[in-house]
Amino acid sequence: MRIVVPLPPGGSPDTIARTLAQHLQATWGQPIVVENRTGGSQNIGAEAVAKSAPDGYTWLLAPDNVFVINPYIAKATSFDPLTDLMPVTEVARIHFLLAVPSSLPVSSVPELIAYAKAHPGELNFGSSGNGSPQRLMTELFQLTTGIKMNHVPYKGAAPAVADLLAGRIQVWIGAPNSLLPHVKEGRLKPLGTTAPERLAYLGDVPAIAETLPGFSVDTWLGIFVPAKTPTDIVRKVNGEVARVLGSSDVKSKLEPQGIELVTSSPTEFAKLIHADYVKWGKVIKEANIRGE
């Protein structure tokens, strides 16, 4: 059995997949391999699962952009993630943090908006690429507030955060685990989270929604299987994943890393995917985002 993760080892998707594999293997007594198949904006790994036998032995643990962003901007592929893969359950939501260098003279979301309006076109924001969550979240932030900043794409979060620390970019919306060490050192200022309300592990950092009501744009991760997988297998996978992620030891391990564990029925998960596909399609169109 294998769980395909279309991203490199070490990130939140890989961590969740290996946690699932460890616990399920202990219960089932069957080896479960986590396979990192990267490339093609995560489409290479997703396509491999879509073309696998629909027998429940190959799963995909993937982020939302494979299903709600890539169909709009990724290069043409020989599969359609929305029809060739079956949603089983959501597994997690990753809350993001809006941070700025300590040198920028703002200390809150309202102050950042006011500063951007007073200095149009002077602020630069970073992302991990044109179709990345960082890009889309910041574009939505701009569309919501009416400000305009310059987009600087990077090949990943690490070089972007390095330039944020150096002040070469001034705004970054990214995963907290890559930012909090620098916040503790006083080199970055956290202005707000993308969660619908304040997060306990982030102390007094407000939600952006406190300034912009309704602004809640976290990324999700989910489990998928090939589209023709029998219903009884899908039901079993859903139940076993929910059992593992609902355990207190798994939650205590993952939630301090900014990973909110969430499970759902296949029907509920499908509705979420459709809603996000529509929402991000509008942002991509309004912001004129194109593939790389």
Same fold: 2-93+219-286 with 97-210? yes
Q: What is the pLDDT of residue 176?
A: 85
State how far the Cα of 220 lies from the Cα of 263, in Å rounded to an integer: 11
Q: Under 8 Å CB-to-CB from 64, ≥6 apart: which residues? A: 133, 219, 220, 221, 222, 273, 276
Average pLDDT value for residue range 88-104? 95
Q: What is the pLDDT of residue 129?
A: 81
Kindly report, residue by residue over 2-13, the tens digit of the pLDDT.
999 998 887 788
Average model confidence (pLDDT) across the chain: 93
CATH superfamily membership of 2-93+219-286: Bordetella uptake gene, domain 1 (3.40.190.150)
52 touches 58 (CB < 8 A):
yes
Written out in words, the top-level CATH class of the domain with range 97-210 is alpha beta
* Residue matched to tokens 């507030």: 145
Here the tokens at position 190 are 């956290």
Q: What is the pLDDT of residue 201?
A: 81
Kindly report, residue by residue over 23-67, the tens digit of the pLDDT.
999 999 999 999 999 888 889 999 999 999 999 999 999 999 999
**Domain ranges (residues) in the chain:** 2-93+219-286, 97-210
Q: Read out DSSP for the chain?
A: -EEEESS-TTSHHHHHHHHHHHHHHHHH-S--EEEE---TTTHHHHHHHHTS-SSSSEEEEEETHHHHTHHHHSPP-SS-HHHHEEEEEEEEEE--EEEEETTSS--SHHHHHHHHHHSTTT-EEEESSTTSHHHHHHHHHHHHHT---EEEE-SSHHHHHHHHHHTSS-BEEE-GGGTHHHHHTTSEEEEEESSSS--GGGTTPPBGGGTSTT----EEEEEEEETT--HHHHHHHHHHHHHHHTSHHHHHHHGGGTEEE----HHHHHHHHHHHHHHHHHHHHHTT----
State how far the Cα of 292 lies from the Cα of 52, in Å rounded to an integer: 28
Terminal Cα-to-Cα distance of the chain (whole angstroms): 34
61 touches 4 (CB < 8 A):
yes
Q: What is the pLDDT of residue 39?
A: 85
Q: Read out DSSP for 25-88?
A: HHHH-S--EEEE---TTTHHHHHHHHTS-SSSSEEEEEETHHHHTHHHHSPP-SS-HHHHEEEE
State how far the Cα of 76 lies from the Cα of 264, in Å rounded to an integer: 30
If we measure between CA atoms, which residue out of 269, 215, 274 comes closest to residue 92? 269
Average pLDDT value for residue range 114-137? 92
pLDDT range class, residue 292, cuts 50, 70, 90 = low
Residue 76 pLDDT greater than 80, yes or no = no
Residue 232 pLDDT greater than 90, yes or no = yes
CB atoms within 10 A of CB 257: 14
Residue 178 pLDDT greater than 90, yes or no = no
State how far the Cα of 262 lies from the Cα of 73, in Å rounded to an integer: 28
